Structure 1
Amino acid sequence: MATQPRRRPKQERSRERIDAILSTTMRLIGEKGIDAVTMKEVGALAGGPIATVYHYFPNKSAILAMLYERFAEESRARFGAIIAGIRGVDDVTSAADRLLDDYYNRVAADPAIQDLQNAIQADKALQNLDIAETRQQAKMFCDHVGPMLEPERREAFGRVVFLVFQLAGGVVRLALTQDEAESRRTIDDYRSIIHTQLRLFL
């Protein structure tokens, strides 16, 4: 199944149309869930005929892929701002805490992001995008922290960081299905796991 848009916007009008399609889709996802959103409805509410939507996106998965790309871009920017504050090994654990809290709070605050995250796990192509993004973010973290570690430990550190980052999505999705007290315990338990793993290297 195609997940890439038919064409990338080259003119301002094209960019505006794509932005309208994406913002409309995200709003509808938040209101009714991904499964209930149709290409026809997106076209109508985005201010154009259905042909306009298909002009840029072959199917709904392609729209979701671009929505995910934008989510990932914003995530990398927020991520980069947090890891920039790591000046030494004493800062690593607190930075990991901030990364986990920022991700949880961001997803918890927006039902559309929650549904988008769930849809990503149900679509093989989108899931591959998510794994690739996790690898990139893990590499960013390791590139920043790795030089602070003993050289012979950096490879193992990279593997652990990737696993911690990849599993964080599932932990957050689980926490969001629980009541407030249990959700807090789930996040705190995962935080303890992260701390335990980091202490092996720091």
Structure 2
Amino acid sequence: MADSGQGIRRRPQQARAQARMQRILDEAAALIAQKGSEQVKMSEIAERAEVPIGSVYQFFPDKTAIIRTLAEVYMARIRAGLVAGLADIASPAEALERIGSLFDDYYALFLSEPVLRDIWGGTQGDKLIQDLDIADSRENGQAVFDTLKRFVGVPDRPRFKTACFLVLHLTGAAVRMAIAVERKEGKRLVEEYKALMVRELGAFLKGPA
């Protein structure tokens, strides 16, 4: 995971300090999942992690920095799953099937991780998390482009690269919308967006170049 410089105050080098910082993040995530980030206090995180409050501030200047770091952790986890899911694709048809499956996995992750919903629910109010989100979409779009560009004609590749970036960014917005409404409607939104995504990217895929 790249260090944004906006989350962790001091990145630990020793194993013991790394374990302490991870415990702080784990307990912060558990508290956010339980009661929402707005209700969580730094003192509660320290108590749950069984560390002095000074240890929390040693790594993180404030609660927002913890939330940003958790966002980066989840982004790295999602990107790793994306890259793994796109490995060894043999045809455009398989590519579109994999993309649809990866979208289903992404939606399922949001449903199963309350802390993830809380973090991204706050993106509108945190410019730094918005910037992280855009940078993450760009990297994810690049991963899709790098994997599938061999199925796209050379003249169409610049547009395809832009489409990958746009679709990957809108994917996050679509999922956040789907989990904000009643579950049955959310499933319809997910299926409609998945069809839209497959149509948009599939229009570029012709066969191995």
TM-score in same-fold range (> 0.5) = yes
Residue matched to 2:127:
124
Alignment length (residue pairs): 201
| Paired residue type of 1:45 | R
Sequence identity percentage: 33
Residue matched to 1:167:
170
Give the RMSD, CA atoms, in angstroms.
Answer: 1.3
Residue matched to 1:77:
80
User: Distance between the aligned counterparts of 1:182 and 1:4, measured in 2?
Assistant: 35
Return the offset for 1:24.
0.6
Give the 5 Å matches for 1:40-189.
40-189=43-192
| Paired residue type of 2:203 | L
Return the offset for 1:149.
1.0
Q: TM-score, normalised by structure 1?
A: 0.95
| Paired residue type of 2:10 | R
User: Distance between the aligned counterparts of 1:76 and 1:181, measured in 2?
Assistant: 27
**Conservation of the 8 A alpha-carbon contact between 2:9 and 2:60:** yes
Return the offset for 1:16.
1.1
Q: TM-score, normalised by structure 2?
A: 0.92
Unmatched 5+ residue regions in structure 2? none
**Conservation of the 8 A alpha-carbon contact between 2:75 and 2:136:** yes
Structure 1 stretches (4+) deviating beyond 3 angstroms?
none
User: Distance between the aligned counterparts of 2:170 and 2:102, measured in 1?
Assistant: 13
User: Distance between the aligned counterparts of 1:68 and 1:11, measured in 2?
Assistant: 23
- Partner of 1:176, secondary structure, is helix
Deviations 1:69-101 (A, max 9, x none): 211121121111110042222212111101210
Unmatched 5+ residue regions in structure 1? none
- Partner of 1:4, secondary structure, is coil
Deviations 1:3-30 (A, max 9, x none): 3311111111111110111001000000
User: Distance between the aligned counterparts of 1:195 and 1:76, measured in 2?
Assistant: 19
Return the offset for 1:147.
1.9
